[in-house]
Amino acid sequence: MRRAKIIPGILFLLSVLAVAGYLLFIKKTPAGYEAQTETSQIAGSESAASGSPEAASETAPLLVKAVTARRGDLVMTLKSPGEACTERKIVLKMEVGGAIKNLFAREGLRVREGDVLVEIDDAEYRLSLEKLEAMRLKYLSELHLEKQYAVADQEASPEALANLARAQAEHEAALASFRTGKIAAADLERTQRAYELALIDAGRKKDEIIATTKGLTGAEIDVKSARRTLEKTILRAPFSGILTDLKVSPRERIEPGREICTLVDLSQMKVRAKVLESEIRKMKPGRQAALRFSAYPDKVFHGLVESVGPIVDAADKTCPVFISVVDSGEEIKPGMYTEVEIAAEIYPDRLLVPQDAILVRGGRKLVFIVDNGTAKWRYVEIGLENEHFAEILPGIDSTSGISEGDTVIVEGHFTLAHDSKVVVR
């Protein structure tokens, strides 16, 4: 019983001694120890987060991409929809009728200028030519016999010869004046008729007159016409290109004027852009243009403004601008849709940097330049700009603006701090 009462008393005494020892330790601790420790922890965190020069020097240099600031032309572009077209596209037709003897044209066939595409059966046309040739020979024989037994020619009178010389001189003078635009065609025809009458009076056109009265002249004209008709039984390619839209079949009998096929030249492609009338004053022949076709989304074609249309479409208030495509090959097809970007205004000798170089911090625009392996930020004032480049205006002090030749960071600079170590890749 007595031992049971002693144990709780010992435990109580030990508890009192422990509390007294703790209170004594607290009193001996230096005032502000906890505050100093907390302050050191906060300061260390802020130092690491602020990117101070000491912290930056201890980290590895950052890889960045940079370009050189340069002076050049700032081009302001104008975007417009456009449609591809070809300079040479024609529908080929037969000028004569008949059965198709040979059809060399095929869909998609590449041809050269002069290649034979269609041959019409020419038997009837050859017979007609031979008949007309025989008629011409008949008239020629009659004329020859008449000249053989005709009375010898009489000499022209001096008055007729003088009149011929005067009419000839007047005709030659009128011809020279007509070529320089000094007289009209009617005046030239008047002097020509007078000269021809003088030739007849002087006996210089006797053979021609006899040939006409005998029918030889008309026969010769008929022969020439028949020969031309015979030549038209063969259809040739007027220029090099590709055939499409073939509309006839071998052995088919066709009428004159029948469409055969379409010939397209893809080597000289153009784009017809539609520009608003308010922007037409900015369009100049010779200006460069970038062409992006939906069929080739990863490729940019280049062209030059060739001409500006003289008429504005009353419906949509646009004016056509024609652009010749440079080195298009045969990738571009007539009718393709394209986005056109035309050089509308050009501002020369501007200090330019890419748009990717410009950042905004604290509401101000800045760029980072590389100086001896260290990134330095420079506040900048932006002048004119387009989609790709911005003009940098002169700085107001040593901490703003950049100079021609400065190395400007364009990639890897979004998290950079001033005086960060960098390596340009």
Complete DSSP assignment for 266-284: EEEEEEEEEEEGGGGGG--
- pLDDT grade, residue 15 (50/70/90)? low
Q: Which residues pair with 254 in a beta bridge?
A: 98
Report helix, strand or coil for 242: strand
Burial-class residue 111 by CB neighbours within 10 Å (0-12, 13-18, 19+).
buried
Greater pLDDT, 20 or 407: 407
Backbone angles phi, psi at 404, to 5 degrees: -60, 135
Output the pLDDT for position 5.
52
Indicate if the pLDDT at residue 51 is higher than 60: no
Output the pLDDT for position 127.
93
Q: How open is the CA angle 337-338-344, to the nearest 5 degrees? A: 145
Output the pLDDT for position 48.
38
Asked if residues 306 and 82 have their Cβ atoms less than 8 Å apart, the reply is no
Report the C-alpha dihedral over residues 316, 321, 324, 326, rounded to 10 degrees: -80
Indicate if the pLDDT at residue 209 is higher than 70: no
**Which stretches does DSSP call E strand in 94-156?**
98-103, 110-111, 116-120
Asked if residues 367 and 390 have their Cβ atoms less than 8 Å apart, the reply is no
Determine which of 21-35, 163-177, 214-228, 383-397 has the lowest per-residue pLDDT on average. Answer: 21-35
Look up residue 229 and give its two tokens.
């008709």
pLDDT digits (tens, 9 = 90+) for 59-74: 788 999 999 999 999 9
Compute the distance between CA of residue 87 and CA of residue 269 in angstroms, rounded to an integer: 6
Compute the distance between CA of residue 184 and CA of residue 175 in angstroms, rounded to an integer: 10
Mean pLDDT of 231-244: 95
pLDDT digits (tens, 9 = 90+) for 143-163: 666 665 554 556 678 888 888
Residue 161's contacts (CB-CB under 8 Å, 6 or more residues apart) are 202
Asked if residues 194 and 167 have their Cβ atoms less than 8 Å apart, the reply is yes
